[in-house]
Structure 1
Amino acid sequence: MRLHVLTANHSDFTASEIDVIATHIEVFSDTLKINGAILGYITLSTCNRFEIYLECEQAVAQRLAATFSQAAPHPITLLSGPQAARHLYEVAAGLDSLVVGEREIVGQLRRALAAARAAGTTTKLLETVSRGALSTARRVCAETDLAAGGRSIAATALELARTPASEIHWPSANVLLVGTGSYAGATLAAMRRLGVKNVEVWSASGRAEAFARRHGIAAASALDLVSPRVMITCRGTGQPVITATALAEAMPGRGPLTIIDLARSHDVEPASAEIAGVRLITLDTIRAAVPTLTKEQVTAAKRVVADGLDDLRAELEGRAMDPLITAIRTTISELAAAEPGANAAPAAHFASVLAHRYASAARRAARAGRAAEFHAVAELVFGAPLPRPRALTDALDTASENRQPSFVGTNSAPASAALPTPADKLNHTERSPQ
């Protein structure tokens, strides 16, 4: 089993294309969970990426990539082994973001990991790599200037909204926030950093009152298209909440309106941008306008990521000794228990201390590249065959370190590990006992 990632992100797709791909893949969510060829997976879904981190065989990952690419304008990307690990670490660090250096992704990744735990789809490998990526992201934040400017998608959108001379004076501007999801809180925080005071929130789901109380703002009773100077939408329910027709009717008699649509699936009809007096900023607008970081900032962050990946490899190398360590612990415990006339408690304590020392030595040997040597010596010491260390290539394959990413199309996947089509899945559900 190896680590893989299937990724459709802002580098290769528009926000709308990512939304279509995500919707297509979510049809298979139950299938992934029951597929015995997939040991575990974590799904990361944000406004500018949809990714699945998997532990499975290479052929299975290729088949999944081919299946999921059917809804995409071109094949999604499959990364495996060390490339998959590096990708996750760079995503967590903000190096692979729409706005490089943004920090929202850390919370999104943490929530994705928690959701996978709750669903029972994580594995030891996925947990180890994810925790390492989050830890490295904290180091990037603490040791570099990558996120020093408080960069985020919301902050960049707000900055873009007031350029060029848009006559938006943030401290006095009336702002309507449409939606109460997790991104709404980050957007509100970005507004407050700009001194925005007059904010109302509206939600079609009825959650505006509770959100307003938590954040100390007012709840709007209706979707007001007349009063706000700025509207920010972050619902992402799949259907526009603001139509071009409604905007065209509301614009006569009012001043200019800036709308920031942060939803992947468009909360605002794109045709609204053609209405006189309306300025529409979308995720694709942001992508085309994001500022670049200095080479020094990016280089420093990549250096921390490289150190984090070295730590990951060392940890996985140490864990490759687990079968051998378990066998040594068992052997020592049995020898201590079988010693004639031995006092049980002191003998057990001695066995525990000795086993711990052997375990520490085994992991040090593995990290030094001497796993096979340690195994041979242990068999001589204990006079019995012991399990060999696991092959590290099951998780991160050093032989693939220099290979390019695999772009797997629908015609290149192996026939094995086939997944059902959406129609097959529905038919299977109908046949299932109630």
Structure 2
Amino acid sequence: MSVLVVGMSHRSAPVALLERLSMDETVRGGTSSRLVERNSLSEAMIISTCNRMEVYAVTNSFHTGVREVVEVLHEASGVDIETLRGYLYVRYADAAAEHMMVVASGLDSMVVGEQQIIGQVRTAYQEAHGQGTVGPALHQLAQAALHTGKRVHSETDIDDAGASMVSFALDEAVHNLSPEDPETPLKGRTALVLGAGAMASLAATHLGRLGVDKLVIANRTRSRAERLAEHAREAGVAAETVDFDARATALREVDIAVSATGAGTFTISAADVPADRHTDLTLIDLSMPRDINDDTADLPGVHLVNIERLHQSREQRIRESGEEDGQTDALTIVHEELSDYTSAQRVRDVAPAVSALRRHAATVVAAELERLESRTRSMDEGDFEEVSRTVRRVVDKLLHQPTVQVKKLAAESGVVSYESALQELFGLKQAEPERSAAVDLTELPEGDIVAIGSQDNITDHQEKA
């Protein structure tokens, strides 16, 4: 049994396709349940964010597991299997473990180092745990990945290099506004915030820190908008609310509009933007599926910032600055944690073989003592008990060093060869060894697994950095 990842992200798929696979909590729960109903899958959790959709599963068969995950994704999203095959990637065994650690650390995010993803990984794990689709394997991996993410953020300066999606989007907006005062770049500006959830709250807070003069907040449930406005006023920022249906009118008076509703329908389209507005307008879309229609970008004086455009801007800035986003130190931590995790995993994997060996030895000892007892009827009970203890001590001492050493060798050098040697030596049942893989689904051969080790995968991240 090994962990399998089948997913797509902003690196492998267009936003429009990610939107079609985006899942809310209810859909994630139902899909996870359908996954573990499949014959080859015993555990499952799903991470679905603005930038990625990934299924983490435990499978007893690599190829069957991949096929069954793809089939369930097809059923859940309606996206045809050939399209899915063109954009999905696969990670298996150690490469799957490394991938979750890289994701939880923010190293695979559009904005490298952003901190929201670690909370999203935690939420995905908690949802799946509550749904009953997480077992020991995913529990151990999720805890190791979350620990890795915490270390990366606390022990490196990656937070300085990569802000959250919200701050990166607003930095982009500020860049387009050409502010006079870098300390309060939004001084004299008015901003509209659509939504009252976590992303909208982060946007309102960050707008206040950037010196915005006034916030206008609209949400379908007005009471939630009122609470967000009150929090803004407590922070010293003027804020008011308007009805959600009045958002188009509000666009006439604002310089920036941020939409983070995740409603599944457009909150702003070109037809909603008043032609007689008083100023140029920057629109920021923080939702997946998208809130703001792409047709707004064609309007004069309107600048649209969305996930796809943010990715393009980030890549351009990195190319121009040559910065590494603090990834080197973070990748070193990932390598350390991956090594610890895989070593512990190998020790756990070899434990059944060690237990089988000891059970086998106990059976042999019991049989031989029974045979001895039948042949030494004249031996008194005390003497026979002393002989029995001596035989058991000898066997225990003979087994102690091999069992300790096999765990040490498994932890340091890999479980397969040493476990196989142990099983062959004592005539125990031999399991088929698992191999790590990290490939795009289109590259997956029909026959054997293409095994790409975790060290190769880490090197690939370093080269991209």
- Whether TM exceeds 0.5 here: the answer is yes
The TM-score with structure 2 as length reference comes to 0.70
Give 3-state SS (helix, strand or coil) of 1:42's partner.
Answer: strand
Distance 1:60 1:237, change over 3 A: farther
Number of residue pairs the alignment of both structures matches: 385
Residue 12 of structure 2 corresponds to 12
Q: Please tell me whether residue 367 in structure 1 is matched to residue 448 in structure 2.
A: no
Residue 186 of structure 2 corresponds to 170
Q: Which moved more, 1:220-229 or 1:68-77?
A: 68-77
Q: Which letter maps to 1:130?
A: A
Distance 1:194 1:375, change over 3 A: same
Q: Which letter maps to 2:107?
A: L
Q: Which moved more, 1:218-227 or 1:64-73?
A: 64-73
Q: Please tell me whether residue 232 in structure 1 is matched to residue 236 in structure 2.
A: no
Q: Contact conserved, 1:62 with 1:413, CA < 8 A, in 2?
A: no
Partner Cα separation in structure 1 for residue 119 and residue 443 of structure 2: 30
Distance 1:23 1:129, change over 3 A: closer
Q: Contact conserved, 2:4 with 2:91, CA < 8 A, in 1?
A: yes
**Given the alignment, which residue of 232, 241, 250 partners 1:220?**
241
Q: Which letter maps to 1:11?
A: R
Q: CA deviation at 1:312?
A: 0.7
Partner Cα separation in structure 2 for residue 370 and residue 78 of structure 1: 22
Instruction: Map 1:189-338 onto structure 2 (within 5 A).
Output: 189-196=205-212, 198-206=214-222, 207-213=224-230, 216=234, 218=239, 220-222=241-243, 223=247, 224-247=250-273, 250-290=274-314, 291-292=317-318, 294-295=323-324, 297-323=326-352
Partner Cα separation in structure 1 for residue 4 and residue 240 of structure 2: 44
The TM-score with structure 1 as length reference comes to 0.75
Q: CA deviation at 1:50?
A: 0.9
Q: CA deviation at 1:121?
A: 0.9
Q: Contact conserved, 1:65 with 1:408, CA < 8 A, in 2?
A: no
Q: Which has the higher contact order (CA 8 A, sep 6+)?
A: 1
Q: CA deviation at 1:114?
A: 0.8
Give 3-state SS (helix, strand or coil) of 1:315's partner.
Answer: helix
Residue 371 of structure 2 corresponds to none
Partner Cα separation in structure 1 for residue 405 and residue 333 of structure 2: 27
Distance 1:253 1:23, change over 3 A: closer
Distance 1:188 1:308, change over 3 A: farther
Give 3-state SS (helix, strand or coil) of 1:303's partner.
Answer: helix
Residue 80 of structure 2 corresponds to 70
Distance 1:266 1:298, change over 3 A: same
Instruction: Map 1:121-140 onto structure 2 (within 5 A).
Output: 121-140=133-152
Distance 1:219 1:76, change over 3 A: farther
Q: Please tell me whether residue 110 in structure 1 is matched to residue 145 in structure 2.
A: no
Show structure 1 runs of 5+ residues with no match: 332-339, 341-357, 378-384, 415-434
Q: CA deviation at 1:316?
A: 0.4
Instruction: Map 1:384-423 onto structure 2 (within 5 A).
Output: 393-394=433-434, 397=435, 400=437, 404-407=439-442
Partner Cα separation in structure 2 for residue 195 and residue 78 of structure 1: 45
Q: CA deviation at 1:140?
A: 1.3
More helix by share: 2
- Cα deviation, 1:391-428, whole Å, max 9, x if unaligned, reads 7x45xx35x4xx6444368xx879xxxxxxxxxxxxxx
Give 3-state SS (helix, strand or coil) of 1:259's partner.
Answer: strand
* RMSD over equivalenced CA pairs, Å: 4.1
Partner Cα separation in structure 1 for residue 332 and residue 142 of structure 2: 18
